[in-house]
Amino acid sequence: MSKADKVIETIDDGDFSKVDNLIQDSLREDDDQTLFSLAETLMSRGLSVQAKTIYEHLLSIYPTEGQILSRLAEIAVSDGDSDKALDYISQITPDSPAYAENLLVSADIYQSQGLYEVSEQKLLTGIREYPDEEVFKFALAEVYFDENKFSKALTYYDMLLDMDIKNYSGISIVLRKASSLAGDGQYEAAISEYEKLNALELNEDAQFQLGFLYNQVKNYNKSITTLENLLDTNHDYPTAYPILAEDYLNIKKNSDAFKYAQLGLNINELDDRLYQIAFDAGQVEDAKQAIDIIEKGIRTVDDPMPLIIKLSDYYVTKGQFKANLDLLSSRDVSNTPKLVWNLAKSEYETDDVTDAQENILLVLDDFKDNLDYLSDLIEILRSTGNNAALKAALKLYLKQDPDNENMQDLLDQIS
């Protein structure tokens, strides 16, 4: 029995305490081919530290041997030493039998460093030099996928599927193609690919993506079915709740929308979209509870401004101008034109005409093409007697709605 065999036998027996000493015995007594085979076996079992010892010994004997250099590069990558890995790789010449592996390892290193263009060039070289090796096509597709260059990724995933390769290294090519189509905005085509997946391939993330795609093409019932099936399996899948709640909102099942928005908030109370959906749906179901929920959201989320705008719009629409003033009283709304407009309208409706005029004029440039805004502006300016500004506002209104007789009559009166 060779010392190399003794190393493997000892490992099989689970006695790792003697492995390092037995490897040293093997280095002294076994021939180089036996040593290389031992190193390969150790690598395959995940014992890269012990394999490295043997490869380094062999490299001292065969300093230009590509396979040894490539294996040491792989180990350096796993150790996080990219510079050392590239040093090994650079020594492998194009005429080496290990050159294909060199291209793959170097592409992986450059990709890990964010140098996608360099990685891409290495893999394109591999495709040219080794056209029958599907690994290069797969690796390049993955580079493009990671870069969100989905149309390019699709080219190579399609090549693999044309070769009847549906899975590679444990990755579903059909799923990758579906995800790429979705990322490229080809929603209908993506749905078609997702629907081809078997139950094993249609994992939780794929189910969510399919549900999202149904939502995007407004097939809300299928989206609901898909996402509810997902939540039956894993009710802690947080991103499913806002899509599902929105689906129910879109088909006007407010009670279900309200329910799922609340369930989602129990899992993720920082999701401002869930607060908005809960508020929209809850206005019909329980207006007071809906307001309580959005007020909690305003206190909780990182950027509450969208929720403040939604609640402010609600108060103005419902004529609750005092409530809107209370909402905005302690907030800096100067950088949010919609809130400045809402503030001005609420001030006017509560007889604070001077402040109303000042604030509504602040956002003229933002809303000069909005007829609702111009109507409010005209109403406020009429009450202040500011005829010069009123005349200008009427002209802006009539420019967009020239057939409005009431506005034309008002302009004639003050001209």
Encoded amino acid at 204, one letter: E
User: What would the mean pLDDT of 290-294 be, rounded to a whole number?
Assistant: 95
β-pairing, 171-172 vs 167-168, is antiparallel
Lowest mean pLDDT among 85-89, 220-224, 308-312: 85-89
pLDDT greater at residue 1 or residue 293: 293
User: What would the mean pLDDT of 234-257 be, rounded to a whole number?
Assistant: 96
Lowest mean pLDDT among 31-35, 73-77, 204-208, 217-221: 73-77
Is 171 in a helix, a strand, or coil? strand
Is residue 49 in a domain? no
User: What would the mean pLDDT of 17-45 be, rounded to a whole number?
Assistant: 87
Query: Given a cut of 70, is residue 61 above it in pLDDT?
Result: yes
Q: Domain with 158 in it: what CATH number?
A: 1.25.40
Is residue 36 in a domain? no
Q: Which helix (H) or strand (E) holds 172?
A: strand 171-172
Query: Given a cut of 80, is residue 58 above it in pLDDT?
Result: yes
Mean pLDDT of the chain: 91
Query: pLDDT tens, 13-24?
Result: 777 778 788 889
Structure confidence at residue 6 as a pLDDT band (50, 70, 90): confident
Structure confidence at residue 80 as a pLDDT band (50, 70, 90): confident
Is 84 in a helix, a strand, or coil? helix
Provide the pLDDT for residue 83.
83
Is residue 108 in a domain? no
Provide the pLDDT for residue 1.
67
Structure confidence at residue 42 as a pLDDT band (50, 70, 90): confident
Is residue 182 in a domain? yes
Is residue 299 in a domain? no
Q: Which tokens hold the place of 16?
A: 């790792």
Instruction: Report yes or no on whether pTM surpasses 0.75.
Output: no
Percent pLDDT > 90 in the chain is 63
Encoded amino acid at 377, one letter: L
| Cβ pair 227, 207 in contact under 8 A | yes
pLDDT greater at residue 14 or residue 129: 129
Instruction: In whole angstroms, give the CA distance from residue 371 to residue 401.
Output: 8
Query: Given a cut of 80, is residue 237 above it in pLDDT?
Result: yes
Is residue 293 in a domain? no
Q: Which tokens hold the place of 334?
A: 């100067």
3-state helix, strand, coil in the chain (%, to 5): 75, 0, 25
Domain limits at 153?
Answer: 132-202
Structure confidence at residue 304 as a pLDDT band (50, 70, 90): very high
| Cβ pair 110, 90 in contact under 8 A | no
Provide the pLDDT for residue 308.
97
Cβ count near 90 (within 10 Å) = 12
Q: Which helix (H) or strand (E) holds 38?
A: helix 32-44
Q: Which tokens hold the place of 63?
A: 């300093």
Is residue 341 in a domain? no
Is 36 in a helix, a strand, or coil? helix
Torsions phi, psi for 40 (to 5 deg): -60, -40
Query: pLDDT tens, 89-102?
Result: 778 778 888 788 88
Query: pLDDT tens, 338-381?
Result: 999 999 999 999 999 999 999 999 999 999 999 999 999 999 99
DSSP codes of every residue in 110-156: HHHTT-HHHHHHHHHHHHHH-TT-HHHHHHHHHHHHHTT-HHHHHHH
Is residue 147 in a domain? yes
pLDDT greater at residue 201 or residue 60: 60
Query: What domain count does the chain have?
Result: 1
| Cβ pair 333, 324 in contact under 8 A | no
